[in-house]
Amino acid sequence: MILIDGKKTAQDIRAELKIEIDRLTSSGKSVPGLVAILVGDHPASEIYIKSKSKACNEIGMRTLTEKLASDTLENDLLELISEYNFNKDFHGILVQLPLPKHINENKVIEAILPKKDVDGFHPISIGNLVIGKDAFRSCTPAGIQELLIRYNIDTKGKHVVILGRSNIVGKPIANILLQKKEHANSIVTVCHSAAPDVSYYTKQADILIAAIGSPEFVKAEMVKEGVVVLDVGINRVEDATAKKGYRVLGDVDFAEVSHKASYITPVPGGVGPMTIAMLLKNTFEAFTKYG
Ligand code: GUN
């Protein structure tokens, strides 16, 4: 069994980007910039935003966080996005989700210019992805594909079974791996809560991607020998013996499934760290393409 080290891979990607940005800086050129917009005080979002801005700073990318009050009007948020759409110092705009209930998330996502949509959530980005045109791909799915590439895991003709059909992970990774392209070209099955017997599908997987938010859902008897497992789950479960009072578990029962898998990501330290690395990569790409 080979452990897929997402933490190390994410560090490698950040180091590669830092070299590119150092090169720009030393030749007196401008650098890529990412603005993150946070509305309200969702604790998990605050943590994500802090890690994002720390990661930007470490590689020399310009970064700014706009923190808005939880009662910010939708129109004021749309206005701010529109300002950044035309701000030449920022090549990527990220609005942290979830947003407070009174704000229409779709409207906000659609307000971001597709050329600055480094989260890959805009319907134009998603449409382009589906039809195989160049597009920003949302960061967690892009990170999953990057892990497959960097670990030389062949995807062509392989049966990829995805658990979960979210707009952020399940649907985009299905569309990425379905493309008739290098590092894709897979046979894809997307499983979801209406599946009468999930094992029927998971047992057929050459590559299993779990993104359902259910701790240790995937058990050894649900997979075949030699399966490649990518676990997107980040589930906090109470644990009085842990320092923080909780443990973080994936959607896969790692202790059991790792004995059958040929490759597997741990949680934490697997898919998770790749998300920010790919966000930085997308921002760098926005800069080189449209900067
Ligand atoms: N909330 C949880 N994950 C994400 C993400 O990748 N991007 C944004 N914008 N919000 C999120």
Tell me the per-residue pLDDT of 117-148, one tens digit each, with 9 for 90 and over. Answer: 999 999 999 999 999 999 999 999 999 999 99
Would 261 be classed as within a structural domain? yes
Same domain, 145 and 75: no
Instruction: Please state the atom number of ligand 1 nearest to the C-alpha of residue 45.
Output: 1
Pocket test of ligand 1: the residue of 119, 122, 136 to mutate, having most ligand atoms within 8 Å of its CB, is 119
Same domain, 215 and 149: yes
Give the CATH number of the domain where residue 175 resides: 3.40.50.720
Q: Report the alpha-carbon angle 93-66-44, nearest 5.
A: 90
Which residues fall within 8 angstroms of residue 283, CB to CB, at 6 or more apart? 32, 33, 34, 56, 61, 91, 92, 118
C-alpha to C-alpha distance for 92 and 111, rounded to whole angstroms? 13
For ligand 1, atom 9, name the residue with the nearest CA.
96
Domain end point (choices 72, 99, 114): 114
Tell me the per-residue pLDDT of 218-274, one tens digit each, with 9 for 90 and over. Answer: 999 999 999 999 999 999 999 999 999 999 999 999 999 999 999 999 999 999 999
Would 85 be classed as within a structural domain? yes
Instruction: Please state the atom number of ligand 1 nearest to the C-alpha of residue 139.
Output: 6
Domain that residue 110 falls in: 28-114
Would 123 be classed as within a structural domain? no
Same domain, 106 and 143: no
Q: What is the DSSP letter of 123?
A: H
Same domain, 98 and 205: no
What is the pLDDT at residue 261?
A: 98
Same domain, 109 and 145: no
The SS3 call for residue 163 is strand
What is the CA(97)–ligand 1 centre distance, in A? Answer: 5
Give the CATH number of the domain where residue 98 resides: 3.40.50.10860
> Which residue, among 92, 138, 108, 90, has the nearest Cα to 39 in the 3D structure?
108
Tell me the per-residue pLDDT of 198-210, one tens digit each, with 9 for 90 and over. Answer: 999 999 999 999 9
What is the CA(1)–ligand 1 centre distance, in A? Answer: 31
Same domain, 106 and 197: no
Domain end point (choices 53, 79, 114): 114
Which residues fall within 8 angstroms of residue 28, CB to CB, at 6 or more apart? none
* Total of domains in the chain: 2
Would 285 be classed as within a structural domain? no
Would 247 be classed as within a structural domain? yes
> Which residue, among 27, 123, 40, has the nearest Cα to 77 in the 3D structure?
40
C-alpha to C-alpha distance for 170 and 66, rounded to whole angstroms? 29
What is the pLDDT at residue 226?
A: 98
Domain end point (choices 97, 114, 131): 114
Q: Are strands 235-238 and 246-249 parallel, antiparallel or unpaired?
A: antiparallel
**With 0-12 CB in 10 A as exposed, 13-18 as middle and 19+ as buried, what is 49?**
buried
Same domain, 67 and 179: no
Tell me the per-residue pLDDT of 23-77, one tens digit each, with 9 for 90 and over. Answer: 999 999 999 999 999 999 998 899 999 999 999 999 999 999 999 999 999 999 9
Pocket test of ligand 1: the residue of 35, 38, 48 to mutate, having most ligand atoms within 8 Å of its CB, is 48
Would 72 be classed as within a structural domain? yes
C-alpha to C-alpha distance for 192 and 210, rounded to whole angstroms? 10
What is the pLDDT at residue 222?
A: 98
Same domain, 56 and 92: yes
Instruction: Please state the atom number of ligand 1 nearest to the C-alpha of residue 168.
Output: 6
Instruction: Specify whether the CB–CB gap between 2 and 262 falls below 8 A.
Output: yes
Same domain, 152 and 217: yes
Same domain, 104 and 143: no
pTM listed for this prediction: 0.97
What is the pLDDT at residue 182?
A: 98
Which residues fall within 8 angstroms of residue 56, CB to CB, at 6 or more apart? 34, 62, 63, 280, 283
What is the pLDDT at residue 5?
A: 98
C-alpha to C-alpha distance for 231 and 189, rounded to whole angstroms? 16
Would 287 be classed as within a structural domain? no
Tell me the per-residue pLDDT of 76-129, one tens digit each, with 9 for 90 and over. Answer: 999 999 999 999 999 999 999 999 999 999 999 999 999 999 999 999 999 999
Would 13 be classed as within a structural domain? no
Same domain, 146 and 267: yes
What is the CA(48)–ligand 1 centre distance, in A? Answer: 8
**Mean pLDDT on 162-166:** 98
What is the pLDDT at residue 25?
A: 98
Ligand 1 interacting residues, C-beta cut-off 6 A:
94-97, 119, 139, 275
Same domain, 33 and 83: yes
